[in-house]
Chain A
Amino acid sequence: MKDFLLLWGIILVFSSSGLTQNESDVKISASYNKVSLDLVMLNLEINHQLEFEYEESDIKDVIITASFKKQPLPLALAILLNGSGLGYEIEGKRKVTLFPESERKPKRSAPLTVNRRDFGISGVIKDGQTGETLPFANVLVLGTSIAGSSNVDGFFSLFNIPSDTVLLQVSYVGYQNLIFQLMPDMDMEALELDMSVDGVNLSQVVISATKEGQMLNASTGIGRISISPIALAQIPSYGEKDVFRSLQLLPGISGSNESSSGLYVRGGTPDQNLVLFDGFTVYHVDHLFGFFSAFNANAIKDVQLYKGGFESKFGGRISSVVDMTGKDGNTEELNMGFGISMLSFNGFVESPFLNGKGSVLIAGRRSFQSGFYSNIFDSYTEANETSTEVNQNLGRRFAQQEVQPTTYFYDLNAKISYRFSDDDILSLSFYNGEDNLDNSRNVDQNSFNRFFGDNSALTFNQENTDLTNWGNYGSSLKYSHRWNNKMYSNANISYSNYFSQRDQSDVTNIVRNDSLFANNRGTYENNDLRDVSFKLDNEYKISQNNQLDFGWQTVYNNIEYIFTQNDTNTIIDRQDKGVTNSLYLNDRHVFNDKFITKAGLRASHYSVSNKLYIEPRLHMTYLLDESIKLKAATGQYYQFANRIIREDIQQGSRDFWILADDETVPISSAWHYIIGASYEVKDWLFDVEGYVKDLSGLSEYSSRYAFSGTGRDRVLEYEESFYTGDGMVKGIDFLIQRKTGKLTGWLSYTLGEVKYDFPELSAEPFYANQDVRHELKLVGSYQYKSFDFGMTFIYASGRPYSAPTGFYEIELLDGSTSDYFEISDKNGLRFDPYHRLDLSATYNFKLGTSKANIGLSMFNVYNRNNTWYNEYDIIEGEILETKVSLLGLTPSLFFNWTLR
C-alpha cells in the first residue's frame, strides 16, 4: 500500500507539472546510484543543456537513485524527484524550477487527460538489451488487483484496465522491477515492456530499489519457484553456473546428493521429475557422474520449478516438473561470449537477422582433462579401479598396465526463432549432450616380450574394451500464434533421444604362424530411448478473472534395452513401445480479487495397459491482505515410464528406462496434498508449505541369476525382478528470503520423511534411500563495488543404508572359501550427517565496451569428509568397513567474457 501511494505520488507530481509538446521534445537518458541531487542537476545541465533554478536549502541531502532511457523531461523529473518532497515546474523547453511540494505552485498546464476507460491491453515483455522475450513475468496494474503473467513467449494480456494512464508494474526474477506508464497515444494491443537486469539502458521507466534482481522467486504459486539463470553466477559453483545444482539449494530439494544432478524433490526420485527443455522431455540430466548437469546455463532463459501439486498441463511424472525455456538469441545486435573454468570451456554466439524478426543462438561446452577434472573423475572411479584382467595362468607374468582413461563431455544448444508477425513465432530448438569414457587398454606382444624376449613367430594381442557413453539428443519445433488478445496457441513437435552404452569386453588373439586362437569375453549394454511428442497448448482468457488452459499431448515412447554377455549370450532384451494420449483442461478463476482457484483435469490413455487415467488437480490461493497469502493444492499424478538403476551404478551411467506394463511393472501414481502460507514484504519473503505425498505402484528392480522350479525342473535364469510397493512422503519446507539490498539470499529448512512399504523387500516399512530428516540450507550473495561474493552452506541429516550385521564363510566346490554377509534390516542404519560450505568471489570488470568477470570458487571449504557409501571386507574374521567419501576441498578458477 505504501508503495502504491508513492507511485501515485509520482503520477500526481507528473500530472501537476503538466506536459506540453515542447517539453516532451526533450528526452532524457540517465542512470544514478545514490548520487546527490546537486550532482544530478549538474550532470543534466551538461548532458542535456537544462537550466535549473532552486534554493540550496531545498535540495540539501537529497540523494537520487534512478535509471531511465529516452524519457520525456517531465517523466524523467517525476522519477528523479520521487520521494524527495520536491516538485518542479518547466518553463520553455529546458528551464526547470525546483521547489518544496508544500509550496506547490498553481498548475500551469492541463493534467494528463484520460481518454479511455475499462479496456484491454496486451503486449510482450522483453529484455530491453537483448530483445529476449521474458516468459512467466508478472504484470500488475498498480493500485488495483488486476494482474497477470506473460506466457512462454512473453505475451501478456490484461482486461478491465481502469484508464489509459495507469502504471503497470512488471516483475521478473533476476531483473529490476519495471514501472511502465501507459500513455493515451500508445497502441494498447502491442505494448512492449522492456526490462533490465541492472536497471540501465531502458527505454522505459524503472523505479530503482523497489526490488533488486534476485535469484529466485518463490511466491508465484503453490510449490512453484522461478529461477534466474542470470543471477546464478552469484552462487558458488564448481566452476560453472549450473541450473540443476542451484535448484538443489532450494527448500524441499535434496542438496546432499553430490553424485547426481538429478533432483530429489520432496522425497521423490530424479526419474519422477519431468524435465522439459523448450518443450521436449529430457530423460537424463547428468554430466560427469552427475557432478554437473547436462544444461548450459548460457543457453537457458527461464527455469520454472514445480515442487508438487502442479497443474494439469503437465503429466507423466509423479513428483515434480522443471520447465526450462531456452534463449531465443539476441534480436537487437550481435553478441558473443566465452568462458573457461578448470573443467571446461564454453562459448556462445547470438545474432538477429532480417531486422530483428529472427534470431539465432548457438552455445556449446566441452570439458578438457585438467587436474580439477581428474580430481572429480578419480573420486568417482577410484573405488572401481580394475587391473588388467588376464588369464589366471599367465596373469602373474604380465606387467600390469596403468592406463589413464580418456574421458570428456560436451553439450551443444542451438535455437533459431522467427517472428512472422507480432502474432506468429516459429522456433526450432536443438540440444545434444554426451559423456564419453574410454578406459580401454591393450596388452600386446611387447608386454610379454619384455619377459620372454622377442618371438616373431608369435603374435599376441589382448584388447580390453571399456567404453561408456551416454547422452541426449533433443529437438523441438514450436509454432505460436496469438489469435487475439484472448486466445493464444502453441503447437510443439518434439523428439528426444537418450542413449547409454557400455561395452566392457576382452578380446584375446593369439596368432602363431597362421593359426588364430581368439577368445571374446565381456558384457555389452545398450539403452536407447526415443520420445516423439506432439503438444498443443491453448490459453483462452474468458475475462480478467477467468482463464482457461486446454490442450492435447501425444507421446510415443520406444525404448530398447539390450544386455549381452560374451558376444552371443543375450541376457536381457527389452523392447518397450507405448503411446500416451492426454487431454487437459485447467480453469483459473479469481473470486472477489482475493480467492484464486485453479481447477483442472487431465485424462490420459496409455496404450500398453489400454486404460484411461483421470487426474484431477486443484489449487487454491487466498489473499488475506497484500502481503499474506494462504495456499493449498491437491492432485493426482500418474507415471508410465520409469528409470531403473542397475546395481553397479558407480561405473558411470548404469541406469536404463523402461515402460510400465501394468503387470510386472506397475504404473506409478501419487496423490499430493499441500497447504502453506506466505508473508511477503518489500525486502523479505517468509514461506512455509507442508506436504504429504501418497505414492503407490512404485517398483524396485533387481536382476541376478536366480533359479526357479524345484527338483529336476529347476532352471537358472537371469531374472529381472520388480518388487512392487507403496510409499508415503511427509514434510514441511520453510523459506526465509531476503530479496533486496546488497546482501540477498535465503535460509531454508526442510523437515521430511520418506517411507516405503515393499513387502517382498522388508516385512516392515522402511526409510527410502533418499529419506533425509532435516535439511538446512543457507545461500547468500553480497555485492561490494565490482565484487560479488557468494556463499552456500548445507546441512543434511544422514541418509539410510543397509549394512552387514555379520558374515559367514562357505567352502566352494573349487576348494576356495568365500565370505558372505548377513544384512541388516533394509535401510536400518544412517550415515553421518552431510554438511559443507562453499564460497566464491567474482570480480566484474570492463574490457573496453565488453564485460568480463574472473573468479574463484571454493567447494567444501572446510574439507568435510562426507560419506558417499560404505564398502565392507571380511579380513581375518573381522568385518572391515571402508567409507567412500565425496569430494573434499576443491578450488576452481573461472573467467567469462561477453561482447555486450
Chain B
Amino acid sequence: MKSILTIIVQPIWVFAFLFFSNVACEKNENLSSSQKSPVLAAYLFADQGIDSIYIGRSIAYDDADSVNHYLDNLEVLLSDGENEYQLNSIGEGYYQNLDLTIQSERDYKLSFYYNGEVVSAETYIPAKKEVGISAEEIELEKIEAGFFGGGGPGGGFGGGFNGDETDPIELTWDNSEADHYYVVIKNIEEEIEYINENIALFDDENGGRRRFSFITEPEIMDVYRIDPRIELTQYGTYEIIVYRVNPEYVTLYENSSNSTLYLEKPATNVVNGLGILTGVNSDTLYLEVVEP
C-alpha cells in the first residue's frame, strides 16, 4: 500500500513544487500608486485667442493632497507648424495667450516637459459651418398662473404649449462629412420673463428662477429642431451656438463606465499624459421670443 501511494504521490509533489515555485513569483500590485500623470484640458476655439487651458495632474487613490493638483509654471508651447507660441501660466493650472488667434483648418501641437518627459498632443481645427435658421423671431402667448387652458387658447404645458400651433424653429447646416455637432441654446436677457407663469411658480419653489439654457449631446447631425413648446420657456433674446467638434472630444464625452466588469482606460490624445487637446469651431445665431 505504501509503495502504491508513493508512486502516485511523489510525482504530484514534484509537479506541485514546480507549480508553486512558479506561482510564488506573482506580482502583487498595491492599490495605492505614486503615479501622478499630467492631465491636459485644452479647447482651441477657432478665431479666438487662448483664454485658458488647464494643466494638472491625476490624483492617486491614496493622495493626501486632493486640492493642489494643478501644474503651474511649465513651459508650454503651441505650434501651428510654422509658428511657435508660448502659453503663460496664470495660476491654478491655467495657461493663456490672447495674442494669438487660432486659425480654422490648421493643425496645432501643444507640448511641455513634465518629469523629464515630453508631454504632447495634436489637434485639428475644423472648418466653420454656416448655420441657417428658419425664423429669427417667434411669438408665444403668455400663460397666466393657475390657467391650464382646457382647450382654450393659451392653455397647455411649459412655455410653448400655447393655444396656437407653433412650428419648430429649424437650424440647418451641411454635414456631408458626418461630423459631430452639439447645440447650445441660452436666454441672454438680464431680466427673466417666463412665458408660463406656472413654471415660474414651480421654479420659485424649487431653487429659484434661472435663465433658460439647454445643451445637446454631440451627435452626427445636420439639422436641429427647436420645439418652442418645450425648449423656449422665457421671453427675450436667445443665443444659439452650433459647435462642430472633433472625434477625440466625442470619445472623451462617451467615456463613463465605472465598474470593474468593464473598467477601461479613458480615451486620450495626449502622449505621455491624460486628457485632451481639441479644436472647436462654431457658428452663433440669435432668436427673439416675443409676446404677440
Binding site for B on A (CB under 8 A): 383, 391-394, 396-397, 448, 452-458, 460, 510, 512-513, 515, 517, 569, 624-625, 627-628, 647-650, 675, 677, 679, 686, 688, 690, 702, 704-707, 710-712, 714-716, 730-732, 734, 751, 753, 773, 801-814, 818, 820-825, 828-829, 869-873, 877-879, 884
Contact = CB atoms under 8 A, between A and B. Distances in A.
Between A650, A677, A705, A869, the greatest number of chain B beta carbons within 10 A of the residue's beta carbon is seen for: A705
B38 to A, nearest CB: 9
A807 B19 contact: no
Contact of B180 (A458, A690, A716): A716
Contact of B157 (A460, A707, A811, A814): A460
Contacts of A807: 58-59
A258 to B, nearest CB: 14
25 contacts: A455-B157, A456-B151, A457-B151, A457-B156, A627-B4, A679-B8, A688-B8, A705-B250, A705-B254, A707-B247, A711-B124, A716-B251, A806-B37, A808-B37, A808-B69, A810-B276, A818-B252, A821-B263, A822-B58, A824-B29, A829-B31, A871-B259, A872-B260, A872-B263, A884-B259
Interface core residue of A513, A650, A879, A884 (most chain B CB under 10 Å)? A879
B236 interface: no
B276 A716 contact: no
A647 to B, nearest CB: 4
B105 A392 contact: no
Interface string B261-292: 11111110000001110001000000000000
Given A453-B148, A805-B32, A813-B243, A391 B250 contact: no
Contact of B12 (A510, A627, A732, A825): A732
Interface string B199-235: 0001000100000001100001000000101110100
B257 A647 contact: yes
Given A647-B257, A702-B264, A869-B259, A813 B43 contact: yes
Nearest to A513: B165
B247 A383 contact: no
A28 B117 CA distance: 93
A751 B257 contact: no
B260 A512 contact: no
B180 A804 contact: no
B19 A515 contact: no
A458 B11 contact: no
B261 A732 contact: no
A697 to B, nearest CB: 23
Interface stretch (B60-68, B72-80, B95-103, B131-139): B60-68
Given A649-B261, A804-B61, A877-B59, A820 B124 contact: no
A870 B12 contact: no
Contacts of A512: 156, 161, 165, 229
Interface string B20-62: 1011000101011101110101010000000000101111110
Given A512-B165, A810-B275, A828-B29, A803 B263 contact: yes
Question: Which range contains the number of B residues in contact with the other chain?
Answer: 35 or more
B249 interface: yes
Contacts of B151: 455-457
B213 to A, nearest CB: 9
A448 B8 CA distance: 76
A569 B219 CA distance: 11
Contacts of B263: 801-804, 821, 823, 872
A580 to B, nearest CB: 31
Contacts of B150: 453-457
Contacts of A870: 259-260
A712 B124 contact: yes
A90 to B, nearest CB: 43
Given A394-B158, A455-B156, A628 B31 contact: no
Nearest to B159: A393
A696 B258 CA distance: 30
Contacts of A383: 259
B67 A877 contact: yes
A805 B60 contact: yes
Closest CB pairs A-B (n = 3)? A707-B247, A716-B247, A828-B29
A124 B156 CA distance: 81
B85 interface: no
Contacts of A818: 252-253, 256
A824 B32 CA distance: 9
B66 A878 contact: yes
Nearest to A884: B259
Given A650-B261, A677-B11, A806-B63, 9 more contacts: A448-B157, A517-B229, A704-B264, A714-B246, A806-B37, A806-B59, A808-B69, A869-B261, A878-B66
B266 A707 contact: no
A808 B254 contact: no
A628 B251 contact: no
A863 to B, nearest CB: 23
B266 A820 contact: yes
Contact of A688 (B12, B27, B274): B12
A393 B231 contact: yes
B261 A452 contact: no
B121 interface: no
A393 B165 contact: no
B219 to A, nearest CB: 9
A808 B246 CA distance: 21
A808 B107 contact: no
A374 B247 CA distance: 42
A426 to B, nearest CB: 46
B255 interface: yes
A677 B262 contact: no
A842 B27 CA distance: 47
Contacts of A457: 149-151, 155-156, 163
Contact of A813 (B157, B202, B280): B280
B230 A391 contact: yes
Nearest to A804: B61
B16 interface: yes
* Most chain A beta carbons < 10 A, residue from B8, B43, B56, B150: B8
A454 B151 CA distance: 9
A396 B179 CA distance: 32
Given A732-B12, A878-B66, A712 B274 contact: no
Nearest to B151: A457
B247 A715 contact: yes
Contact of B254 (A394, A704, A809): A704
B251 A707 contact: yes
A456 B43 CA distance: 48
B247 A714 contact: yes
Contacts of A879: 61
A878 B5 CA distance: 57
A766 B207 CA distance: 51
Contacts of A734: 12
Contacts of A456: 150-151
Contacts of A453: 148, 150
A751 B15 CA distance: 11
B195 interface: no
A323 B156 CA distance: 65
A822 B107 CA distance: 28
A206 B260 CA distance: 56
A648 B158 CA distance: 36
Contact of A707 (B58, B248, B258, B262): B248
A728 to B, nearest CB: 10
Interface string B132-172: 00000000000000001111000111100101010010000
B7 A628 contact: yes
B57 to A, nearest CB: 7
A394 B230 contact: yes
A22 to B, nearest CB: 49
Nearest to A873: B258
Contacts of B275: 808, 810
A454 B250 contact: no
A515 B165 contact: yes
A806 B60 contact: yes
B63 to A, nearest CB: 7
